[in-house]
Amino acid sequence: MTNLPIKKIVFIEPKAPGKHVYSKWGFPRLGIIQLATILEKAGYEVKVFIEEIKGIDWDDVFDADAVGISTITSTAPRAYEMARQIRRTGTPVFMGGPHVSFLTDEALEHCDFVIRGETEEAIIPFLKALSGGGKFEEIPGLCWHYGNRVNKNPFPEACPDLDKYPMPNFDLVCGSKKTKVDLSITPIMTSRGCPFGCNFCSVTRMFGRKYRFRSVDNVMEELHARKPEWIFFYDDNFAANTTHTKTLLKRMINEKITPNWMAQVRIDVAKDPELMDLMVQSNCKYVYIGLESINPKTLESLEKGQTKEDIEHAINVIQGRGIRIHGMFIFGADHDDPKTIRQTVKFAKKNNLSSVQFMILTPLPGTPVFEQMDREGRLLSKDWGYYDAHHVVFKPKKMNYLQLQKKTLSATLKFYSLPRILDKIDRFDIWSVIISSYGWRASRQMRKSTRDFVKQMKGKYKEYGADIDTARHNIGIKARKTSEDVNEFFHSINLDNIRKMKEKQIEKWRASKAASKQSV
């Protein structure tokens, strides 16, 4: 602990290593904005930097008394580099998010503290303890170095009452002097957790399988306060509790708060005609659905609890109601082969999905898939910058990794083709033209960004083979490239001077405190 007053807090969400079809909208994750709002109401001076949207004002970072960094797996290399460099100024750095919650020892090689799991209950006690006003041992989820060992408090219990937290204050999101924020699509969270158990998803391990939700009154209060033109409901599964979802949508309709909205749902919504009616009446325009696969054996192995026929029926019902679908598919499961990928592209085109993401199965830390592949020695690399669903990081079973890499990219290029965009123009489907045009550009950027990756593999390994250590070495450069510009920036400034300046401020504060005690 610092035994120094902690007043100024900065939160950072590093940007992702690559782009995808929805990068354009730059939805911020709500975690650090929620924490910042809690601290603001407790009297702290707080700023939030979401690098993807606004960039970072490093003068504010260096002026902070403590810095919190949130990271998912693909942003971990960049987050770690930021943490290492900020620590050089003498500023305490704490980290949170799913990646460090599951790989705490790794994270503590780069930062001072990790707060695992849900952090709202821990953040104020942690900052008080950091300034000498409490004990680290009493803070749920906190992990830190204690001599030569790492001290880990138990994973925190999930908060059952989400109404107790304040409405996130987006005005706390700041940026560099050259950037502006555009939150034209307002993110609103109404629930946490997911009752389903997909074995490639870390949500249940992070937030639990018990579905917790804000009261309808609480959500409506936020809707009335924000008066948004567009909403993205940030729930992992917006309609997991259909009774709650229907009650909310009825209130929105009755109180005439029906902006255009989008949400993540399962195909189950199509089985409930009343829910579908309410979605249409309340102005639902777009749904994100994890369709995952049309391969029956893959759906079974991923524990999705749905069939190809279920998927096709849901697409017909939902799109028949005028709601567009962003379909998310995963390639590379143990039962997938090149034919699976070709059939999936045909399926997406045939069913006229508005937009898609063809992603490579990514064994994220904290998931059963990661643990299984790690045990089996199938992971090519643990350079987390590659864990972005666009790079092969494991040994597939029914194709080699070059096939999986190239055919996944090819699938995206085929779906977002110019002839298909022109067809949408002919049908005056302006929204789909906009989405598809951006998808076309993004897919070609992805092709360029993965070219070096493929080049490293091509010619060296016709098949995956036994030389896994060489493979790991060859694809182990992503983490360094991901954080290269951060490293260069910090080398361009004198961190030692910043540290010395902070040390002088601390000495001045301590002298002032000692003098005030003597006068008393």
Instruction: Provide the residue type at 308 as one letter.
Output: K
Identify the H or E element spanning 273.
Answer: helix 273-281
Q: Are residues 154 and 13 in the same domain?
A: yes
The domain total for the chain is 2
User: Residue 501: which residues within 8 A CB-CB, separation 6 or more?
Assistant: none
Q: Are residues 21 and 119 in the same domain?
A: yes
Return the pLDDT at 207.
67
Q: Are residues 21 and 133 in the same domain?
A: yes
Residue 295 lies in a domain: no
Q: Are residues 325 and 454 in the same domain?
A: yes
**Full residue range of the structural domain in which residue 491 is found:** 8-160+483-511
Residue 19 lies in a domain: yes
In the chain, pLDDT over 70 holds for what percent of residues? Answer: 74
Residue 229 lies in a domain: no
Q: Are residues 394 and 487 in the same domain?
A: no
Q: Are residues 396 and 489 in the same domain?
A: no
Contact of 287 with 265, CB cutoff 8 Å: yes
Return the pLDDT at 507.
64
Return the pLDDT at 17.
74
Q: Are residues 388 and 505 in the same domain?
A: no
pLDDT, tens only, 128-171 = 999 888 899 999 999 998 878 899 999 888 888 899 999 999 99
Return the pLDDT at 21.
44
Return the pLDDT at 480.
46
Buried b (16+ CB within 10 A) or exposed e, 273-296: eebbebbeebbbbbbbbbbbbbbe
Contact of 438 with 357, CB cutoff 8 Å: no
pTM for this entry: 0.85
Return the pLDDT at 399.
92
At which of 459, 474, 503 does a domain end? 459
Residue 221 lies in a domain: no
Distance CA 394, CA 450 (A): 16
Q: Are residues 369 and 496 in the same domain?
A: no
Residue 185 lies in a domain: no
Q: Are residues 373 and 407 in the same domain?
A: yes
Return the pLDDT at 386.
86
Return the pLDDT at 28.
73
Q: Are residues 20 and 116 in the same domain?
A: yes
Q: Are residues 365 and 498 in the same domain?
A: no
Residue 151 maps to which CATH number?
Answer: 3.40.50.280
Residue 243 lies in a domain: no
Return the pLDDT at 22.
47
Return the pLDDT at 208.
62
Identify the H or E element spanning 300.
Answer: helix 296-301
Residue 383 lies in a domain: yes
Write out residues in the chain with pLDDT < 70, as ranges: 1-4, 18-27, 176-183, 195-198, 202-209, 419-494, 496, 501-520
Residue 445 lies in a domain: yes
DSSP state of 394: B
* Phi, psi for 235 (deg, rounded to 5): -60, 150
Q: Are residues 489 and 429 in the same domain?
A: no
